[in-house]
Amino acid sequence: MQMKDVAQTFEYLKQFLTDERLRKIEHFSQDSSDFVLPVMEDIYQFRNAAAIVRSVEACGFHKVVAMEEENVFNPNLTVTKGAETWVEVKKMPKTISSLQEIKNEGYKILAVSPEKNAAMLPDYEITEPIALVFGTELEGVSEEVLDFADETLAIPMYGFTKSFNVSVAAGICMYELKQKLLKSGIEYKLNEEKLLQMKIRWAVNSIRSGNQILEQYLKT
């Protein structure tokens, strides 16, 4: 859709929203960002998938990439607390080609791992869009992803335990990076077209039979 069409589509969908829901969409969309893109590498525990989606949404990042191989990224809705309404989950095959596609969109690939002389999260300076790759619960980030990544990023550990649960690690990283962006002066928020597209998705997810209403409108 062209910019004008996107704006008109959202204006059309507004009539199906309650005033309260529209106010929330307008309010929370303003700080939304895809400057940090979480990428999950074949996560298999649905509670972890759900906790990641919830943390991502709470920090104002509304997109997740789930690279699937043996496991389906399927969040537990009792854990997400409704975050799945707002977070777009893009599913891709677990391949280097998928990461290359993300890189081609302008993202630096950062693997969350202590390997390869990792930068420490508190010291990391975010200057450009980053795709943050989290590995599986048992194996961590795969060797092929580590080899492909532009950099690695590690969370400092202060006890005998050598790593956080993947959903905890994702929550820590997303929150810390959001704080860095807030203080950076970087223009990290969505541009006008992406913002409108997200509002349309949120509106559709908020309306009963929203997809059918949107499809019917686009046919006219």
Is residue 68's pLDDT more than 60?
yes
Q: Token pair of 102, please?
A: 């993300």
Q: What pLDDT was estimated at residue 79?
A: 45
Which tokens is 114 given?
């202590």
Query: Does 75 have pLDDT greater than 60?
Result: no
Residues shown for the chain: 220
> What architecture is the 35-189 domain classified under in CATH?
3-Layer(aba) Sandwich (3.40)
Q: What angle do CA 160, 164, 167 make, to 5 degrees?
A: 165
Q: Is position 213 annotated in a ligand binding site? A: no
Instruction: Report d(CA 55, CA 169) in Å as an integer.
Output: 10
**Mapped to the 3 state alphabet, what secondary structure does the chain carry?**
CCHHHHHHHHHHHHCCCCHHHHHHHHHHHCCCECCEEEEEECCCCHHHHHHHHHHHHHCCECEEEEEECCCCCCCCHHHHCCHHHCCEEEEEECCHHHHHHHHHCCCEEEEECCCCCCEEHHHCCCCCCEEEEECECCCECCHHHHHHCCEEEECCCCCCCCCCCHHHHHHHHHHHHHHHHHHHCCCCCCCHHHHHHHHHHHHHHHCCCHHHHHHHHHHC
What pLDDT score was predicted for residue 85? Answer: 79
The residue assigned the tokens 């077209």 is 193
Residue 140 has pLDDT above 90, yes or no: no
Q: Greater confidence, 2 or 140? A: 140
Q: What confidence category does residue 107 fall into, taking pLDDT thresholds of 50, 70 and 90?
A: very high
- pLDDT above 70 (res 70): no
Q: What is the pLDDT of residues 161-182, one digit of tens each?
A: 888 888 899 999 999 999 999 9
Q: What is the pLDDT of residues 82-103, one digit of tens each?
A: 567 788 889 899 999 999 999 9
pLDDT digits (tens, 9 = 90+) for 49-58: 888 888 999 9
d(CA 204, CA 178): 27
Band of residue 21 on the pLDDT scale cut at 50, 70, 90: very high
Rg (CA), the chain: 18
